[in-house]
Structure 1
Amino acid sequence: MMTTQYINKKTKLILICCFIMVLVNSIAGANPPKRVIKLGFIPLTDCAPLVIAKEMGLFAKYGVDVQLSKEASWAVVRDKILNGELDGAHCLFSMPFSVYTGIGGKSGSEMRIAMTLSNNGQAITLSKDFCGIVGFKDLKKVAGAIKTVKARKEVTFAMTFPGGTHDIWLRNWLSACGVSAKSVGIITIPPPQMVANMKVDNMEGFCVGEPWNGVAATQNIGFTHIASQDIWTNHPEKALVVNKTFAETDKEDLKNVMKAIMEACKWLDVMSNRKKAALFLSRPNYVNAPVQVIEARLMGSTDLGCDLGVQKYKNDYMLFYNNGMVNTPKISYGIWFMAQYMRFGMITTAPAYKDISQKIIMSDLYAEVAKSMGVPIQEDMKPFKTNLETIMFDPANPAAYIAGAKK
């Protein structure tokens, strides 16, 4: 028979255990584990802001637990952002507009742009069919060269997503060369697969981000004909694009993600840091490309291939911060991309340009983050002109621009 003393000791032990459990649960409730924020990226050099924010501990510095997810294509990124499998991603700036207008997805599907990640740093690569016929930025000879190649085979160009930035750079270039986009084939290929597809003669040219233009030149598969900054200097390229629900219900976490990425963008624009950045990016879990190729083009040195020599970009190479000029997501840029869709017949009814751009671009949230980081906010809605065009684009009157561009 148990003694009263033993029963009392057992009761005390049980009470102590219960007290400890209550205390532990209370502490856990006060400091719940951080939710994991999942951000996707495509293996391109300009995914660098996300990679650096992760590798340099900047996400942790701002109190967010971020997991990076390497994705296979922009279509996969689109689907995962829309269904919430990804909270956000390194993404083509124009993708949300392409999807919303029904070019690259279901019309009316919403993704939000929190900030711009990069300017410049894409290119159009031509196959060896054009080597010795067309030189660097030699636009006047392109139409004739295409006609020559078409005499023996179909001419096809590749880009990475319908209505995406690479699609629009390609169409602007063709127009400037006097070539109708309808007279050639335009196909969609994921960025890391561009070089392999050109190698087996699936296309005569492609527009993609680095390092894949550099890889094609290094492997003597093609040559860099023109860089995107030659088409439009300091153009918007990649953006932090986020899931609508995440943007609307988890703004504090999103702001901290943006702060970490902003600091990474600043770090990346210190040129002495770019060799280290190239080492991170070259890893198999990120871009998985030769570090020398990534580094060279990050530093503004473009070995064109096809015995065309090296082109040095001194202040218009790939930029991530540029004293705050890169990161403001401009309403006017959204309007410009949608105007391109109308100009090139990708949509037939004019969208509500400004309303859609304001819906997609989180200008107020960006302004709040930029102010807290001491980053100047850039003026928006001013007319501007790209390098290959003679007419100005006024975001207040896209119809006039389209009419002029079609002449």
Structure 2
Amino acid sequence: MSTSSAADRPGRSGPGTEPLPRHGSGTPRSAETLGRPGAGRPGPGGGPDRQADDTGPVPIVGNRPAPPLRPVGNRMPPAGAATDGAAPPDGAAVPGDDRVPGDDRVRGDDAGPGDDAGLEDDAGPGDDAAPTSTAMPRPEVAELPTTERPAGGRAGRDLRAAIGVGVGLVALVVTSLFVWRPAFLAVLTVAILVAVVELSRALGAGRFHPPLVPLLVGTLAMEGLAWSRGPTGLVVGFLLTALAVVLWRLGHGPAGYLKDAASGVLVALYVPLLAGFAVLLLVPDDGAVRVLAFIATVVASDVGGYAAGVLFGKHPMAPSISPKKSWEGMGGSVVACMLMATPFVVLWLGGPWWSGLVFGAALAVSATVGDLGESLIKRDLGIKDMGNLLPGHGGIMDRLDSLLPSAAVAYLLLSVLAPV
């Protein structure tokens, strides 16, 4: 009968050794079986594969037991979080490790003083702080479409900057209108040129590349012809611009020709052609009042719709395009537009008593359609704003979305309700 040391006996541990328990057949167990629930009861001397309180197997990582599970933040890891005995892959979460894979920030109670990364347990209600580059966005922000995500601050924008820029724009428009009407034409033309550039660059997010040079030249031609030749000059300028876009794009080859040419014609139609109707409103002697009536009514639509939507909005109008717009807000826009338009059309332009109601209701609809139309384009392109030129507002194009279609509606209605 041969003798064996304590280190050679199953279930016993000798000094400096970590023996593996053996099956009944004498075959040594692998490290993998030690990590399975219920595998390897301790031998007479107690084995290394179970804790003293028999709460479950100690997972083996390589040849060493893994550290005990620790809470992450205020939560314990799930019961099945232990590994199967194999070392976790690179970047994977290890039980007991408080870090997220790929994130070197310490989370939970280990966060050091002054760490202002937006952690889940530390964020206060309504905290919409933008996540850092390594942090995942908060669920309520991540689920929002790109065009509805807040851009900064609790209101989504810098409210002070937005109000300051808005007041400055109103002062510029009113001053140029009543001091010298050609000055307003110059201001409008510069704004349209910038809007054309913004929309053309934004379309690049969808891999559309409208020819910019013929669009800019065509914008100058359309606004100038509308001022000097009236509606006929505006239409002729648009047709020439569309032809120039189609011909210019030929020089860049056939790849993407239809997309680029079609997007260029769309830009010419959407921005300078519709803006040309504002120039047509400016041409008569009372053109300053006509332009001011149209702009003030559109502003009233925005203000009335926002107020009514915040106070009473419950039924979304177009949730897939703009979830914040409601039918209650639309009702507020109509009422506000009627109240704003009536004094302009009836008292200052000499229209019948009901003309202000018709003008206001029509512009409320056109302003809302224009706003939804631009939101649809931005949603399709996956962008928040067309530009960033105006702090708190986005780009010039973001301020013209309601005005552009309303200019055409205002010109056509005033030609009937209050003809020159």
Structure-1-length-normalised TM-score: 0.23
More strand by share: 1
Higher relative contact order (CA 8 A, sep 6+): 1
Q: TM-score, normalised by structure 2?
A: 0.22
Q: Could you say which structure has the larger radius of gyration?
A: 2
Larger relative helix fraction: 2
